[in-house]
């Protein structure tokens, strides 16, 4: 795969929609190469960025899985030649009526929340660290609610 030349590169987790998609589009509009990583289809976000003249690629990845996170980082470096910024945006939040109260929440659901909101942040960061410059590389961790 030929490398795309850009000034700097960001990997945005949870970038297929919502805040992550807006971040990816904004970074691309400012001249950054963007890898959009998500469990969801990233093609609409990538097409939007490219239609605006930006440089973007997408990867389907569970960023809480060490192998998948490492592969997403390696695909970013292979495609763009570097990695400068990791935006840890992937996560779960209540939609519609929200989550059940803790006393009614199944343990399996709780574990999905922890995996999506916490584990993915640590795993993605660990995968990215070897590729980030010690002085200029950045990791941005996000949290939000509905």
Which tokens sit at 41?
């289809």
CA distance linking residue 41 with residue 60, whole number of Å: 7
Distance in angstroms (rounded) separating the CA atoms of residues 63 and 58 = 13
Which residue numbers in the chain have pLDDT < 70? Answer: 1-5, 94-97, 144-146
Largest CA distance in the chain: 52
Give the tens place of pLDDT for each residue, 14-53: 999 999 999 999 999 999 999 999 999 999 999 999 999 9
What's residue 98's pLDDT? 77
pLDDT of residue 7: 84
Which of 82, 74, 78 shows the shortest CA–CA distance to 124? 74
The pLDDT of residue 101 is 85
Structural contact between residues 86 and 32, judged by C-beta atoms closer than 8 angstroms: no
Q: What is the CA radius of gyration of the chain?
A: 15
| CA of residue 5 relative to chain centroid, distance | 20
Q: What is the pLDDT of residue 92?
A: 85
User: Would you state the pLDDT for residue 13?
Assistant: 97
Rounded CA separation 124/144 (Å): 18
Place of tokens 């659901």: 109
Q: Calculate helix-pair angle for 66-80, 120-128, nearest 10 degrees.
A: 40
The residue among 119, 35, 21 whose CA lies nearest residue 76 is 35
């Amino acid at each position: 795969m030929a490398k795309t030349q850009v000034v700097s590169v960001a990997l945005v987790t949870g970038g297929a929609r919502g805040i992550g998609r807006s971040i990816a589009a904004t970074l691309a509009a400012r001249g950054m190469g963007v890898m959009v990583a998500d469990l969801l289809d990233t093609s609409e976000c990538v097409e939007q960025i490219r239609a605006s003249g930006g440089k973007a690629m997408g990867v389907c990845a569970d960023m809480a899985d060490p192998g998948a996170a490492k592969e997403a980082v390696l695909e970013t470096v292979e495609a763009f030649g570097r990695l400068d910024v990791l935006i840890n945006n992937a996560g779960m939040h209540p939609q519609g009526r929200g989550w059940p109260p803790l006393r009614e929440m199944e343990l399996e659901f709780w574990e999905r929340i922890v995996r999506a909101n916490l584990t993915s942040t640590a795993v993605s960061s660990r995968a990215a660290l070897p590729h980030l410059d010690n002085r200029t590389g950045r990791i941005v961790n996000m949290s939000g609610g509905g």
